Structure 1
Amino acid sequence: MSENLLDCLVVGAGPAGLTAATYLARFRRHILLADAGASRARWIPASHNCPGFPFGVAGNELLARFRLQADTYGVPQVRTRIIRLERFDGGFIASDGARHWQARTVVLATGVVDRLPAIEGLEQAIANGTVRLCAVCDAYEARDEVIGVLAPAQAAIGHAAFLRTFSRHVFALAADDSPWNEAAQQQARDCGIQLWPGPQRLELIDGACLARSAEGRRLRLDTLYPVLGADAQSDLAAALGASLDHEGALAVDDHLQTSVPGLYAIGDVVSALNQISVAVGHAAIAATAVHRRLPENYC
């Protein structure tokens, strides 16, 4: 068992998981990186918000660079989806339904899955920037455009107000049947946000997003930000009793350890700002904490 027992299993190979695995490999730890190949970073057409890339970098290119760095230090990887995590006296047992791995510690970098509107050609729309998923990341690239925010009525106003610092032409589109309350209407007036009823249909036409209302109104948007929430991939930890926040993200301490000893979480699955730079910082902190927690590995 001791030969097969991993020092750490890293689950998820986005920027966070790949960075954590690289750190642990450089610490000369016996690790494995398990990944299902669905990093949220792959959606990024070009990030101009990632440190070290002044002219922008596509998500897949960035992931390739992270993978190359991990490969340079011999990080072993397996393409699979871990579906179950259990405790045993020496650590954790992870399973993909067919295979099992034992590890003293586990780092979860499982991310979130965005809830997206039903639009034909959505992937292409994201690729060309017509649909954007992160205003903090790329609102600068949408400056001065006609921008729409699709979100539950009351929540849409706050997101739209943030985007008003980048464009004079911002519309809040209700994603539910709730009427705009008086406070929301006043905030919209104060911020210069235009309110629009929930679209009956969204379609892509000539590089723009066209919203059609039930009354037949049409609104052409250069950029649409759907803010419909995301589902944190925290089930593995939750099954072990790890603490979650009200949105299902994992609560962690200053060392990125969950409430389950030996179980760490990094990146978007953690209750924090969802940014690549934050995920990489999480990875450095967690990997170093894991290394210090483990038995010494003298030469």
Structure 2
Amino acid sequence: MIDVAIIGGGPAGLSAAVYTARADQETYVFDDGSGTTRDVDRMENVYGFPEGITGPELVERGHRQAEKFGTEFVSEEVVRLAQSGETYEIETTESTYEARGVVLATGASYKSPAIKHVEEFEGQGVSYCVECDAFFYRDDPVAVVGAANYAAKEALMLLDYTDDVQVLTNGNEFEADPGLRDRLDEEGIPVRTDRLDRLEGEDMLERVVTRDGEEIAVEGVFVALGAAGGTDLAEMIGVATEGQTIRTDEEMATNLPHVYAAGDVTGGQRQINTSVGEGTRAAISLLEALRGTGEYVDYQKLETAAGD
């Protein structure tokens, strides 16, 4: 059992880690190295760097600072988040961890597949969340669109609801870890690498059509491109989202106890300075909640807001 799990190793996550680790809370940062901050060119609007600084440099400094206070870094992709009583389970491609509190700081990572008519069938056969919608496809033929660990994990999860599951990579090479590939083989889940052209159906989704004109009969398509993003993970445990952002109050609290969010995944001004501030606020709020000294959070109100 660890105290704090921070998912995301960008400015928001590292800022939160500095505060929680410095407060003697066992802190783990889960970061698979895919953060967009690493691609940012030299920035001249970051406080304290009059000569400017690049994204990679800033992240590396934050990493060193968080590590100085005892933060542990896990270079594994998080594929699932689950609530277990009063704690939370963080499942990666390699292991499962349990934490008292969570900060979601994954950045903005919404990916839609390059397939015609996807948006038209959203809510009518196209979903971005197995945990949320798989129940509606019991015993129906379904497919997962994706080509990495996230897609493999989602396909395996769908077996709880239907035996008719396949993975569609949309022309990409399937890059899931060997262990996950073996599990797909064992469960009889085929992986198809056809390039996909469009989705078809009357009122609801009925088929996927490949570029070669072949029809794949499915009633549900679950999009799982790249790694699980912040809203994907949030929805797995019932955290309120709005579009592709996580809903929080002014203290960065979500509608679940001890779960906070910070940075680009919360929307608003997508600036590094803002992310650092939100990471700090989320960490302080979580520390107060873990000690039982924080301000009262009306989770029922936040839950109601989730349905607005």
Q: Which amino acid aligns with 2:29?
A: L
Q: Distance in 2 between matches of 1:70 and 1:97?
A: 24
Equivalent residue in structure 1 for 2:34, among 38, 42, 45:
38
Please tell me whether the aligned partners of residues 16 and 267 of structure 1 are also in contact (alpha carbons under 8 angstroms).
Answer: yes
Taking structure 2 as the reference length, the TM-score comes to: 0.55
Taking structure 1 as the reference length, the TM-score comes to: 0.56
Written as runs of structure 1 = structure 2, the 5 A alignment for 1:190-205 is: none
Equivalent residue in structure 1 for 2:241, among 241, 244, 258:
244
Q: Which residue of 2 aligns with 1:61?
A: 57
Find the residue that maps to 1:112 and give its secondary structure: coil
> What does the per-residue CA deviation read over 1:94-120, in whole Å, with 9 as the maximum and x for residues that have no partner?
10143111111100111113779x9xx
Q: Distance in 1 between matches of 2:109 and 2:290?
A: 32
Equivalent residue in structure 2 for 1:70, among 53, 58, 66:
66
Q: Which amino acid aligns with 1:85?
A: L
Q: Is it true that 1:291 corresponds to 2:284 in the alignment? A: no
Q: Which amino acid aligns with 2:66?
A: A
> What does the per-residue CA deviation read over 1:47-89, in whole Å, with 9 as the maximum and x for residues that have no partner?
0111111121111111111111112112111101111111111
**Radius of gyration: which is bigger?**
1
Deviation at 1:90, TM superposition (A): 2.8
Question: Which runs of at least 4 in structure 1 moved beyond 6 Å after TM superposition?
Answer: none
- Listed as ranges, the gaps of 5+ residues in structure 2 are 115-227, 293-308
Written as runs of structure 1 = structure 2, the 5 A alignment for 1:57-206 is: 57-113=53-109
Q: Distance in 2 between matches of 1:264 and 1:115?
A: 23
Q: Is it true that 1:14 corresponds to 2:10 in the alignment? A: yes
Written as runs of structure 1 = structure 2, the 5 A alignment for 1:247-262 is: 247-262=243-258
Deviation at 1:25, TM superposition (A): 0.8
Q: Distance in 2 between matches of 1:293 and 1:238?
A: 22
Please tell me whether the aligned partners of residues 48 and 57 of structure 1 are also in contact (alpha carbons under 8 angstroms).
Answer: yes
Please tell me whether the aligned partners of residues 232 and 248 of structure 1 are also in contact (alpha carbons under 8 angstroms).
Answer: no
Q: Distance in 2 between matches of 1:98 and 1:36?
A: 12
Q: Which amino acid aligns with 1:37?
A: G
Deviation at 1:38, TM superposition (A): 1.3
**How well do the aligned residues superpose, as a CA RMSD in angstroms?**
2.2
- Listed as ranges, the gaps of 5+ residues in structure 1 are 119-230
Please tell me whether the aligned partners of residues 82 and 89 of structure 2 are also in contact (alpha carbons under 8 angstroms).
Answer: yes
Give the 3 Å change call, closer, same or farther, for CA 268–23 of structure 1 in structure 2.
same
Q: Distance in 2 between matches of 1:232 and 1:80?
A: 14
Give the 3 Å change call, closer, same or farther, for CA 27–50 of structure 1 in structure 2.
same
Q: Which amino acid aligns with 2:106?
A: T
Q: Which residue of 2 aligns with 1:151?
A: none
Q: Is it true that 1:275 corresponds to 2:271 in the alignment? A: yes
Q: Which amino acid aligns with 2:289?
A: R
> What does the per-residue CA deviation read over 1:213-251, in whole Å, with 9 as the maximum and x for residues that have no partner?
xxxxxxxxxxxxxxxxxx963101111121112x32001
How many residues end up aligned between the 2 structures?
179
Q: Which amino acid aligns with 1:234?
A: T
Find the residue that maps to 1:8 and give its secondary structure: strand
Q: Distance in 2 between matches of 1:90 and 1:100?
A: 16
Give the 3 Å change call, closer, same or farther, for CA 25–281 of structure 1 in structure 2.
same
Find the residue that maps to 1:16 and give its secondary structure: helix
